Structure 1
Amino acid sequence: MKILITGVGGPTPRSFALSLQRYSQYADWEFFGTDINPHAVGLYRKDLFKESFLIAPASDPEAYWKDIEAIITAKNIDYAIILPELEVMEWSKRKMQGGKLPCPSLIPDPKVTELLVSKSRMTDLLEDMDLVPASVSFHRGQRDFKGLFDKLGFPFWVRSSSGTSGLGSLKVENEAALKNWIQINPEVEQFLASTFLPGRNLACKLLYWKGKLLRAASGERVNYIMAKVAPSGITGNTSFGRLLNEPHLVELSKKAMDKVFDETGTEPHGFFTADFKEDEKGKPYITEINVRHVAFTQCFAAGGANFPEDTIRLLDADPDFDFTYRMYEFEKDLIFLRDVDVEPILMKEGELLKVYHSPVGQNI
């Protein structure tokens, strides 16, 4: 089976491919990768991708589609996995405009994509449902922040109102810190400030297919790869996390997505990752909903929740696929450890090494 995976310079597309290569026996896989950056490491992963291609960016639709269609035709691609947000938006626009996709792919409706990519629009939509933290959006040119401070107080959390990987994120302690942060993030035009939530950082994955929620699973992000390079401590790439069994997260995520589908008048369809942060009492609030997989997809697959395989089987119309809703459940105490270009490790949290204190006068 020939699968095209886009954006292979990022960890998420490689995680998707590895989930199939190492944890799925559904088919014999041939992966083809694309990226817009000639320095993207995934383009040169010969152990993973049979062939890779440098293509035009989705911001240049005419050139982008010319490249994508040429690859799909020349390599007889069966299915495409589109993961960078800009490409998801471009494929969803083409789908809405009545243009036939060059090959089958799990793509949400563009109205859903556009709403969720904008963190401020999503927050406004869910605000009255007690699903999101109190928030205020503002432009980088704003000078008066009294209304923001009165509503949120200090500290609060600020980030870009769109984009991923914690772009422009910081815990703000005072007005001077906010103004300085705006100045050193010139690429961010619109910010979103929200109540600071000190609790767990959670994620809930949801797989919808033609109107129905079919699969779900939850996890926790505890630490991040290269966290020290980001003032927020968040890089969007988890180094240590937990695989969880939390139906309440699924319930909240589904409630939010029901509202999104109702607001946009669209059929539930696509793959989504709802991110949560808990307050000091342990109440979870949605901070964003991604319209795609995230980087630790492979860890879920290793734990038995292989969403990439589910996706391909649905696209392939597998007659043996079970359409009964299922929340994946993991072994208790199951954690994962990740690092850059290293195979993730799944283990029981109780097996983590403890600090060893050497008796005085003895070698370890």
Structure 2
Amino acid sequence: MKILFTGVGGPTPRSFAQSLLKYSTYTDWEFFGTDINPLSIGLYQSDLFQESYLIPPASEPESYWKAIEGIIVEKSIDMAIILPELEVIEWSKRKETDSLPCPALIPDFSVAELLIDKAHMTSILANEKLVPQSVEFERFDPNLEKIAETLGYPYWVRSSSGSSGLGSLQINSLEELKNWIHINPMVSTFLASEYLPGRNLACKLLYWNGALVRAATGERVEYIMSKVAPSGITGNTSFGRLLNEPKLVELSKRAMETIAKHTDSTLHGFFTADFKEDAEGNPLITEINVRHVAFTQCFASAGANFAEDTVRLLAQDPTFDQSFKHYTFEEGLIFLRDVDELPIIMKEADLLKPLSKDWHVVSS
């Protein structure tokens, strides 16, 4: 099976590819990669991708599609895995008016567009009490002090669109907010939300033609290179837990059904709902990604191989069971990740314990 992966400079497409290569026996694979940056490491991983291509960005649709279609025809590509948000949007736009050049799991444009706009998504889900109290504001808003009048201190601020915690920080004063806006010149619109001190949770959802067919839940505990981000959030989890929490699935499902009703759309695609718990332990949705996220390989290594599920659906595998399945895990499972390393799945109880204070080395 020949599969085209876009955005292979990012960790998520490579994680998806590794999920198939290492944890699936569905078929034999040939992977092809694309990226817009000649420095992208995935373009040069010949052990993973048979061939790789430097292509124009999706922001240049005419040249982008010419390159993509050329690769698909020349290499007889069976399906494409589209993961960068800008490319998901471009493919969803095309799906609205024309057929896709090959099978790909792409959400409706109206759904993707709404979910990428975190502020819009929050406003739609507010009546369902699924999201934290929030305030959208522009960087040049003259009445920034009113945010604290609504939310109180501390509160959380981030870019109203995009992923990976762009522009995110806990705000404790008006001066902190003004300074943060100043050092984030690329962000024009921000979203401030009530501060949620609890667990950072995720629910993965695979929809096929309106039906939820697979789901699983987990917790993000620590992030790779967290010290480089003032918020401590970089978008790449280094330590997480694999959870069995049906409540998260039900809340995510409710949110997606609300979005589908608002956009008059059929739910189709892969979504990752992110939650934070409030002080009472109630999970609230902070964002819903329109794609897989980087630690999808960790789920695959523990038996929840959403990458294989996606491929089998796109291949119209008649043996694939499309009835709903909530993947569950052995209690106490965690995953550890780092840059350039395969994840490790283990029991949290088996983590190394600190040495006792009276322990010492005796030299021979």
Q: TM-score range by the shorter chain?
A: over 0.9
**Once superposed, what is the RMSD of the aligned Cα atoms?**
0.9
Secondary structure (helix, strand or coil) at the match of 1:132 reads coil
Aligned-partner Cα distance in 2 for 1:2–1:275: 32
Residue 29 (1) aligns with residue 51 (2): no
Change in Cα spacing, 1:153 to 1:63, as seen in structure 2 (3 Å) is: same
Cα deviation, residue 23, structure 1: 0.3
- 1:2 corresponds to which residue? 2
Aligned-partner Cα distance in 2 for 1:63–1:191: 32
Aligned-partner Cα distance in 2 for 1:211–1:168: 33
Percent identity, aligned pairs only, is: 66
Paired positions, count:
363
Cα deviation, residue 324, structure 1: 1.1
Q: TM-score, normalised by structure 1?
A: 0.98
Cα deviation, residue 100, structure 1: 1.4
Deviation by residue 1:149-175 (Cα, 9 ceiling, x = unmatched): 111010000000000100000000100
- 1:84 corresponds to which residue? 84
Aligned-partner Cα distance in 2 for 1:360–1:149: 50
Change in Cα spacing, 1:179 to 1:360, as seen in structure 2 (3 Å) is: same
Aligned-partner Cα distance in 2 for 1:166–1:220: 16
- 1:74 corresponds to which residue? 74
Aligned-partner Cα distance in 2 for 1:361–1:287: 47
Paired residue type of 1:47: D
Cα deviation, residue 361, structure 1: 5.2
- 1:332 corresponds to which residue? 331
> Does 279-288 or 145-154 show the bigger shift?
145-154
Paired residue type of 2:239: F
- 1:146 corresponds to which residue? 145
Cα deviation, residue 146, structure 1: 3.1
Paired residue type of 1:287: T
Aligned-partner Cα distance in 2 for 1:249–1:362: 48
Paired residue type of 1:222: V
Cα deviation, residue 28, structure 1: 0.2
Deviation by residue 1:58-108 (Cα, 9 ceiling, x = unmatched): 0000010011000101111000000000000000000001x1111000000
Paired residue type of 1:189: S
Deviation by residue 1:6-55 (Cα, 9 ceiling, x = unmatched): 00000000000000000000010111000000000111111100111000
Instruction: Check the 8 A contact 2:204/2:270 in 1, yes or no.
Output: yes
Secondary structure (helix, strand or coil) at the match of 1:234 reads coil
- 2:253 corresponds to which residue? 254
Instruction: Check the 8 A contact 2:145/2:174 in 1, yes or no.
Output: no
Cα deviation, residue 137, structure 1: 0.3
- 2:341 corresponds to which residue? 342
Paired residue type of 2:221: V
Aligned-partner Cα distance in 2 for 1:196–1:302: 33
Secondary structure (helix, strand or coil) at the match of 2:52 reads strand
Paired residue type of 2:334: I
- 2:11 corresponds to which residue? 11
- 1:133 corresponds to which residue? 132
Paired residue type of 2:229: A
Structure 1: runs of 5+ lacking an equivalent: none
For 1:1-364, what aligned pairs fall within 5 Å after superposition? Answer: 1-97=1-97, 99-357=98-356, 359=358, 362-363=361-362
Change in Cα spacing, 1:100 to 1:176, as seen in structure 2 (3 Å) is: same
Secondary structure (helix, strand or coil) at the match of 2:221 reads strand
Paired residue type of 1:121: H
Paired residue type of 2:354: V
Aligned-partner Cα distance in 2 for 1:304–1:278: 26
Secondary structure (helix, strand or coil) at the match of 2:354 reads coil
Aligned-partner Cα distance in 2 for 1:213–1:361: 56
Deviation by residue 1:278-313 (Cα, 9 ceiling, x = unmatched): 011111000000000000000000010000100000
Deviation by residue 1:249-288 (Cα, 9 ceiling, x = unmatched): 0000000000000000011111100000001111100000
Aligned-partner Cα distance in 2 for 1:342–1:126: 37
Secondary structure (helix, strand or coil) at the match of 1:8 reads coil
Aligned-partner Cα distance in 2 for 1:12–1:308: 11
Cα deviation, residue 243, structure 1: 0.5
> Does 139-148 or 285-294 show the bigger shift?
139-148
